[in-house]
């Protein structure tokens, strides 16, 4: 039926019809799920709960013996999902076995870690979060989904939404940093990008991970214990997961860590009480790789059989690679140690997701080899990757307006282990990214400068190691130049899973190289490429211009060159605090005040005696080639009730010589409450573009959603009292005003 909503009544009718249609479709799914379930043997039910990797290679690289073994398991109904099987041909071949050769013809679902691009590799998620651009981040996920689906995939194990306050933890690279509000919006944007309308064959199912609080690992050590109060868990770490539920995510992944003494894969309170009952999540839950099996290592299960009981009863539907379910469910049910009803519910959730994605109606929906040739690495996708990469660059320092550089310089020295580096630009979790598609910094600069400009390149040193043999040539090259660009940082896989570091300094002898180049007296620009905040105190103090470039993907060189030579005015802002030294970690802007806040004039308070307590660069920080002037915030009222809205207006003016983007940030502080509150909390931001000399009025609204917190009784509420509101260019450089919430 085609209804044109010309009035309120027709709009309501249309909404009602759409709702009824959705309800009818869901009822149809349920009837079909129940019908299939009634035909299944217990062995086949266990098979649906079993997810295996197609070898440890990527897709078509697996050997024929492995492929034959996989097909046998699929034919016998012992697998519900495969990952690391990539390519329309391979997935089609495996799917054919499932839907034409197995007894019940239940389709497989193919998953993969598509984190920040499939073949068109975008910036790492932490870099994308630096853009503070939700539409750009959503588009990045949408393009990744389009390419992944063209290569036979249905499901990505993303987004990772873990809050990370400790940059020693390598997986900070995969998330959106330290802030709950920014992290929640980024999480929802990525879910919308990956999933969209699941009827569209260009979209794939998203999977929120790692549930829960994985980023709070003690000592920043991956997989380590997490121990925190429920108030911190609910107030800081859980909201991004909840944001993905609200955005419609269809699957969750358990985290490796324990929380309050219970590993996530056995945590019924987390999975059932909070996720399913409190948040009303009705999708499916998959374990992380062998995390069900690791219940034995954690010490809460004596063997895989006991681990299977704990995980299934907690609510883990699909077992990734531990084989605990497929090997034990049948006997556990026969022995009365596991209820068949629990097994049935898990199977139903998996079948339901397959129905939602349309696999029963079209099991070969993503097996079109023609799509695989045309929908990846297109010009449109590369242009989008360049746009996101430029938006992700953060300008940390620009003394005496050294940047942007002139394109007609006579000689430019390009030095450093990341200056002509292809592989590391991809970062970690590169999926099917190929370094041959990367534009490194050297090539990007060559694409940018005049033909008469000479670029002299030398590596200088390796990323790691102690060899300084290349210093002499680097110094010689620097002395011959008009300006030096130093490309320093980490390798792509120094951050990511299992890549925790005890030091945040530049690895190897890179800082020593920077010191030697500095001695030449030449103007120096440091371009950082890394997957976490680093402690770069000497560089920040001595080098006149510093650019945070992260790992920007295949368009890294072009994006950085656009920024360095002024074709793009940087507007990125840090999503995570840069510490002065690793000794300040964990460090984050939204800390508590304590009873004795830091004061350099008094001895007996919370500070260090060997360095300032403040960060090197605060959360939300990032410079521009232009300057912005903020007026005082104007409030619509000095007092509001808890259910009312407060309007906050501020005037921002571009007072510099360049057009540019600015991220206007709004923070609050609850001055007196029943429990202690952070000194600042981000509650809004607006990314605006201003031409030089232009002014713009920016408006925010604060209401119940922004002012609520968990009180002393763990009730989500707004308490009457006095508040401060801060608006500015980062979490420290702000204008402030006061208001009060009254009874």
Residues labelled as active-site residues: 288
Tell whether omega for the bond before 342 is within 30 degrees of 0, i.e. cis.
Answer: no
CA geometry: angle at 627 spanning 626 and 629, to 5°? 150
- Element holding 82 (H helix, E strand): strand 81-83
Task: Show Cβ contacts of residue 679 under 8 Å, excluding neighbours closer than 6 positions.
Answer: 589, 590, 591, 592, 593, 669
End-to-end CA distance of the chain: 50
Does the CA dihedral 605-606-610-615 come out positive or negative?
A: negative
Strands 695-702 and 709-710, sheet pairing: unpaired
Residue 623, both tokens: 């410079």
For the chain, state the CA radius of gyration: 27
Question: Which secondary-structure segment (H or E) carries 730?
Answer: none
Q: Would you call 214 helix, strand, or coil by DSSP?
A: helix
CA pair distance 393, 558, nearest whole angstrom: 12
Tell me if 182 sits within 8 A of 139, measured CB to CB. Answer: no
Distances 692 to 246, 562, 659 between C-alpha atoms, Å = 39, 19, 5
Per-residue H/E/C for 7-28: CHHHHHHHHHHHHHHHHHHHHH
604 contacts: CB under 8 Å, gap ≥ 6? 596
Q: Report the distance separating Cα 390 and Cα 268, nearest Å.
A: 43
DSSP string, 409-452: -SEEEEESTTTT-SGGGG-S--TT--GGG---HHHHHHTTS-TT
Please list the residues that pair with 639 across neighbouring strands. 740
Label each residue of 601-651 as H, E or C: CCCCCCCCCCCCCCCCECCCCCECCCCEEECCCEECCCEEECCCCEEEEEE
Rounded-to-integer distance, Cα 340 and Cα 331, Å: 11
CB atoms within 10 A of CB 689: 13
Helix axes 340-356, 324-334, angle to 10 degrees: 140
Residue position matching structure tokens 């409030």: 635
Contact 528, 485 (CB under 8 A): no
Burial-class residue 194 by CB neighbours within 10 Å (0-12, 13-18, 19+).
buried
Helices (H) and strands (E) in the chain, counts: 22, 27
Reduced to 3 states (helix: H, G, I; strand: E, B; else coil), residue 240 is helix
- What does the DSSP 8-state code read for residue 348? H
Please report which helix (H) or strand (E) contains residue 526, including its range: strand 524-529
Residue (of 444, 508, 518, 454) closest to 486 by Cα position: 518
How far is CA 531 from each of CA 472, 600, 604, 728, rounded to the nearest angstrom?
29, 33, 37, 26
């Amino acid at each position: 039926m085609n209804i044109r909503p010309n009035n309120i009544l027709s709009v309501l009718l249309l909404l009602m019809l759409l709702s009824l249609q959705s309800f009818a479709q869901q009822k149809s799914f349920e009837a079909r799920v129940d019908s299939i379930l009634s035909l299944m043997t217990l062995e086949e039910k266990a098979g649906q709960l079993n997810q295996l990797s197609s070898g440890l290679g990527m897709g078509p690289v697996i050997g024929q013996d492995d492929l034959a073994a996989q097909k046998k398991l699929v034919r016998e109904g012992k697998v519900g999902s495969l990952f690391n099987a990539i390519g329309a041909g391979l997935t089609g071949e495996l799917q054919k076995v499932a839907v034409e050769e197995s007894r019940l013809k239940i389709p497989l679902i193919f998953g993969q870690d598509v984190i920040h691009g499939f073949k068109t590799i975008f910036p790492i998620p932490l870099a994308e979060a630096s853009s503070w651009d939700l539409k750009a981040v959503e588009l990045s996920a949408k393009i990744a989904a389009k390419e992944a689906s063209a290569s036979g995939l249905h499901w990505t194990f993303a987004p990772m939404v873990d809050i990370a306050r400790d940059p020693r933890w390598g997986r900070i690279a995969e998330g959106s940093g330290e802030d709950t509000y920014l992290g929640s919006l980024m999480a929802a944007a990525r879910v919308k990008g990956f999933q969209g309308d699941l009827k569209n064959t260009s979209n794939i199912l998203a999977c929120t991970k790692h549930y829960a609080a994985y980023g709070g690992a003690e000592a920043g050590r991956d997989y380590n214990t997490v121990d925190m109060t429920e108030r911190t868990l609910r107030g800081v770490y859980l909201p991004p997961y909840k944001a993905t539920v609200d955005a419609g995510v269809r699957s969750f992944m358990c985290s490796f860590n324990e929380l309050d003494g219970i590993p996530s894969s056995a945590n019924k309170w987390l999975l059932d009480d909070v996720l399913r009952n409190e948040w009303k999540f009705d999708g499916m839950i998959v374990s992380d790789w062998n995390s069900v099996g690791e219940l034995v290592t954690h010490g809460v299960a004596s063997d895989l059989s006991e681990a299977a009981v704990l995980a299934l009863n907690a609510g883990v539907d699909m077992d990734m690679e531990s084989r605990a379910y497929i090997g034990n469910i049948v006997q556990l049910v026969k022995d009365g140690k596991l209820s068949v009803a629990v097994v049935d519910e898990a199977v139903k959730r998996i079948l339901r997701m397959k129905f939602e994605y349309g696999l029963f109606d079209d099991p070969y929906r993503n097996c079109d080899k023609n799509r695989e040739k045309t929908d990846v690495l297109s010009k449109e996708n590369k242009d989008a990757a360049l746009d996101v990469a430029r938006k992700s660059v953060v300008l940390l320092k620009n003394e005496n307006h050294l940047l942007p550089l002139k394109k007609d310089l006579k000689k430019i020295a390009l030095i450093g282990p990341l200056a002509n580096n292809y592989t590391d630009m991809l970062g970690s979790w590169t999926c099917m990214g190929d370094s041959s598609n990367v534009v490194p910094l050297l090539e990007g600069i060559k694409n940018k400068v005049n033909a008469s400009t000479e670029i002299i390149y030398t590596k200088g040193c390796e990323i790691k190691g102690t060899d300084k043999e290349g210093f002499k040539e680097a110094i010689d090259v620097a002395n011959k130049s008009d300006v030096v660009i130093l490309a320093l940082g980490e390798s792509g896989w120094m951050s990511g899973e299992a890549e925790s570091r005890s030091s945040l300094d530049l690895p190897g002898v890179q800082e020593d190289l920077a010191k030697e180049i500095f001695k030449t007296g030449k103007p120096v620009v440091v371009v950082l490429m890394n997957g976490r905040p680093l402690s770069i105190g000497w560089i920040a103090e001595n080098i006149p211009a510093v650019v945070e470039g992260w790992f920007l993907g295949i368009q890294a060189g072009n994006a950085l060159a656009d920024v360095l030579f002024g074709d793009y005015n940087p507007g990125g802002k840090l999503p995570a605090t840069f510490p002065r030294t690793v000794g300040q970690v964990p460090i984050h802007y939204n800390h508590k005040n304590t009873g004795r806040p830091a004061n350099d004039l008094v001895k007996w308070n919370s500070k260090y005696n060997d360095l300032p307590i403040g960060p090197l660069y605060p959360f939300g920080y990032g410079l521009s080639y232009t300057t912005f002037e903020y007026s005082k915030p104007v409030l619509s009222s000095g007092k509001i009730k808890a259910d009312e809205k407060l309007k906050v207006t501020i005037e921002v003016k571009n007072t510099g010589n360049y057009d540019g983007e600015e991220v206007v940030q709004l923070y609050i502080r609850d001055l007196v409450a029943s429990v202690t509150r952070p000194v600042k909390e981000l509650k809004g931001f607006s990314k605006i573009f201003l031409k030089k000399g232009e002014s713009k009025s920016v408006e925010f609204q604060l209401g119940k959603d922004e002012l609520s917190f968990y009180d002393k009784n763990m009730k989500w509420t707004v308490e009457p009292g006095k508040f401060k509101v801060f608006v500015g260019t980062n979490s420290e450089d702000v204008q402030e005003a006061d208001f009060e919430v009254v009874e």
